[in-house]
Amino acid sequence: MTIKVGDKLPDVQVTLATPEGPIPTSTGQYFAGKKVALFAVPGAFTPTCSVKHLPSYVEKADELKAKGVDEIVGTAVNDAFVMAEWNKQQGSDDIVMISDGNAAFAEALGLDFDASKFGMGKRSQRYSMVVNDGVVEQLNVEEPGDYSVSGAETMLGQM
């Protein structure tokens, strides 16, 4: 079943991708008590993710925070080292990266897909959501291959 507005995020193990190295946590623990702008991509360093999706959140970070967002979080089915390097090369200090290396979070949300025909295995769909104290307030899921509703611009328009 796919998560929807008003649902509480499922509590699964994920890893914070930090410059100091991976830090294990759970979604229940991480999202508690804060308002988060969360975006998910099929893969770090992939074309649309790197050229459009991540840059939209880098460029609009100050505006999102001015609208009451405590943190901006990106996630993908990549390991913590890849996510940390992607943030280092193309992200910013305003963005926290969460590694969903085994697709546990994407699966628990019902927002995973099989990209095996592209040699990429299980991946997360492209989406964004506003999460307030672990509860989904806004949800924007892209159609396969699209990038039209999950960027920071859309999220700002919803706040």
Query: Which residue in this structure is represented by tokens 């040699």?
Result: 119
Residue 115 pLDDT exceeds 70: no
Task: Say what the pLDDT of residue 118 is.
Answer: 72
Question: Are 90 and 54 in contact, with CB atoms under 8 Å apart?
Answer: yes
Domain boundaries, the chain: 13-145
* Separation of alpha carbons 80 and 18, rounded Å: 8
Question: Are 125 and 111 in contact, with CB atoms under 8 Å apart?
Answer: yes
Structure tokens at 79: 């390991």
| Catalytic residue list | 49
- As beta bridge partners, residue 15 has 24, 99
Output the CA–CA distances (angstroms, integers) from residue 88 to 29, 39, 97, 113, in the order listed: 24, 17, 10, 27
Task: State in words which class domain 13-145 has.
Answer: alpha beta
Residue 151: DSSP 8-state? S
Work out whether strand 21-26 and strand 127-132 pair parallel, antiparallel, or are unpaired.
Answer: unpaired
Rounded to 5 degrees, what angle do the CA atoms 12, 13, 19 make?
135
Position 49 confidence tier, pLDDT thresholds 50, 70, 90: confident
pTM of the complete model = 0.93
Closest to 135 (Cα-Cα) out of 38, 15, 56? 38
Q: What percentage of the chain has pLDDT greater than the value 70?
A: 95
Task: Say what the pLDDT of residue 116 is.
Answer: 65
